Amino acid sequence: DAKTTQPNSMESNEEEPVHLPCNHSTISGTDYIHWYRQLPSQGPEYVIHGLTSNVNNRMASLAIAEDRKSSTLILHRATLRDAAVYYCILREPSGGGADGLTFGKGTHLIIQP
Protein backbone atom coordinates (compact mmCIF):
# COMPACT_ATOMS: atom_id res chain seq x y z
CA ASP A 1 0.00 0.00 0.00
CA ALA A 2 1.17 3.52 -0.75
CA LYS A 3 2.38 5.24 2.38
CA THR A 4 1.55 8.66 3.78
CA THR A 5 3.72 10.92 5.92
CA GLN A 6 2.25 13.42 8.36
CA PRO A 7 3.74 15.58 11.13
CA ASN A 8 3.32 14.01 14.55
CA SER A 9 1.64 17.07 16.01
CA MET A 10 0.52 20.60 15.23
CA GLU A 11 -0.77 23.41 17.34
CA SER A 12 -3.12 26.21 16.40
CA ASN A 13 -5.24 28.88 18.00
CA GLU A 14 -8.99 28.79 18.22
CA GLU A 15 -10.85 30.56 15.40
CA GLU A 16 -7.80 30.51 13.14
CA PRO A 17 -7.37 28.41 10.00
CA VAL A 18 -5.41 25.18 10.23
CA HIS A 19 -3.49 23.54 7.40
CA LEU A 20 -2.64 19.88 7.96
CA PRO A 21 -0.13 18.53 5.44
CA CYS A 22 0.25 15.01 4.09
CA ASN A 23 2.89 13.64 1.77
CA HIS A 24 2.14 10.61 -0.40
CA SER A 25 4.85 10.51 -3.02
CA THR A 26 4.13 6.88 -4.05
CA ILE A 27 0.42 7.40 -4.66
CA SER A 28 -0.99 5.45 -7.59
CA GLY A 29 -3.15 6.99 -10.28
CA THR A 30 -6.35 5.47 -8.91
CA ASP A 31 -5.84 6.04 -5.17
CA TYR A 32 -8.29 8.36 -3.47
CA ILE A 33 -6.98 10.58 -0.66
CA HIS A 34 -9.12 10.22 2.45
CA TRP A 35 -8.98 12.13 5.71
CA TYR A 36 -10.40 10.86 8.96
CA ARG A 37 -10.16 12.26 12.45
CA GLN A 38 -10.41 10.66 15.84
CA LEU A 39 -11.61 12.72 18.75
CA PRO A 40 -10.57 11.61 22.24
CA SER A 41 -12.31 8.42 23.35
CA GLN A 42 -14.22 8.04 20.08
CA GLY A 43 -14.02 6.03 16.88
CA PRO A 44 -12.58 7.60 13.74
CA GLU A 45 -14.83 9.96 11.83
CA TYR A 46 -14.75 10.59 8.08
CA VAL A 47 -13.79 14.15 7.16
CA ILE A 48 -13.32 14.39 3.41
CA HIS A 49 -11.83 12.66 0.39
CA GLY A 50 -10.74 13.51 -3.14
CA LEU A 51 -8.96 12.22 -6.21
CA THR A 52 -7.49 15.12 -8.18
CA SER A 53 -9.52 18.27 -7.72
CA ASN A 54 -9.80 20.29 -4.56
CA VAL A 55 -12.86 19.39 -2.50
CA ASN A 56 -14.98 21.27 -0.01
CA ASN A 57 -17.60 20.08 2.45
CA ARG A 58 -19.18 21.39 5.62
CA MET A 59 -16.29 20.15 7.76
CA ALA A 60 -13.20 21.06 5.78
CA SER A 61 -11.46 21.61 2.46
CA LEU A 62 -8.97 19.33 0.77
CA ALA A 63 -6.29 20.83 -1.42
CA ILE A 64 -4.51 18.31 -3.65
CA ALA A 65 -1.20 19.12 -5.33
CA GLU A 66 -1.17 19.01 -9.10
CA ASP A 67 1.20 16.01 -9.10
CA ARG A 68 -0.91 14.37 -6.32
CA LYS A 69 2.20 13.68 -4.25
CA SER A 70 0.90 15.78 -1.38
CA SER A 71 -2.34 17.17 -0.02
CA THR A 72 -3.48 19.57 2.68
CA LEU A 73 -6.54 19.37 4.89
CA ILE A 74 -7.82 22.83 5.70
CA LEU A 75 -9.98 23.65 8.69
CA HIS A 76 -11.13 27.15 7.97
CA ARG A 77 -11.86 28.25 11.51
CA ALA A 78 -10.69 25.83 14.17
CA THR A 79 -12.68 25.32 17.33
CA LEU A 80 -11.77 23.46 20.49
CA ARG A 81 -13.93 20.59 19.22
CA ASP A 82 -11.52 20.12 16.32
CA ALA A 83 -8.77 18.92 18.65
CA ALA A 84 -8.17 15.37 17.47
CA VAL A 85 -5.80 13.04 15.66
CA TYR A 86 -6.11 13.53 11.90
CA TYR A 87 -5.29 10.66 9.57
CA CYS A 88 -4.43 10.95 5.89
CA ILE A 89 -5.17 7.65 4.13
CA LEU A 90 -4.90 6.42 0.55
CA ARG A 91 -7.58 4.05 -0.68
CA GLU A 92 -8.35 2.25 -3.92
CA PRO A 93 -11.78 3.23 -5.28
CA SER A 94 -13.28 -0.25 -5.38
CA GLY A 95 -11.89 -1.29 -2.06
CA GLY A 96 -11.00 -4.53 -3.75
CA GLY A 97 -8.25 -6.84 -2.69
CA ALA A 98 -7.21 -6.21 0.90
CA ASP A 99 -10.05 -3.85 1.69
CA GLY A 100 -9.91 -1.60 4.71
CA LEU A 101 -8.21 1.60 5.68
CA THR A 102 -4.48 1.70 6.44
CA PHE A 103 -3.97 4.09 9.33
CA GLY A 104 -0.63 5.63 10.20
CA LYS A 105 0.00 7.52 13.42
CA GLY A 106 -1.67 10.67 12.12
CA THR A 107 -1.24 14.27 13.25
CA HIS A 108 -2.28 15.22 16.75
CA LEU A 109 -3.91 18.65 16.41
CA ILE A 110 -3.90 20.78 19.52
CA ILE A 111 -6.16 23.84 19.63
CA GLN A 112 -5.31 26.60 22.06
CA PRO A 113 -8.17 28.79 23.34
Partner 1 sequence: DADVTQTPRNRITKTGKRIMLECSQTKGHDRMYWYRQDPGLGLRLIYYSFDVKDINKGEISDGYSVSRQAQAKFSLSLESAIPNQTALYFCATSDLRDGVYNEQFFGPGTRLTVL
- Note the residues at the interface with partner 1 (CB under 8 A): 32, 34, 42-46, 49, 87, 91, 93-95, 98-106
Nearer residue to partner 1 within complex by CB, 41 or 113: 41
Closest separation in Å from C-beta 112 to partner 1: 22
Nearer residue to partner 1 within complex by CB, 70 or 107: 107
Q: How far is CA 113 from CA 42, 68, 77, 87, in A?
A: 22, 34, 12, 23
Nearest-5° angle of CA 63, CA 36, CA 98?
105
- What φ, ψ does residue 79 adopt, rounded to 5°? -120, 170
Closest separation in Å from C-beta 74 to partner 1: 18
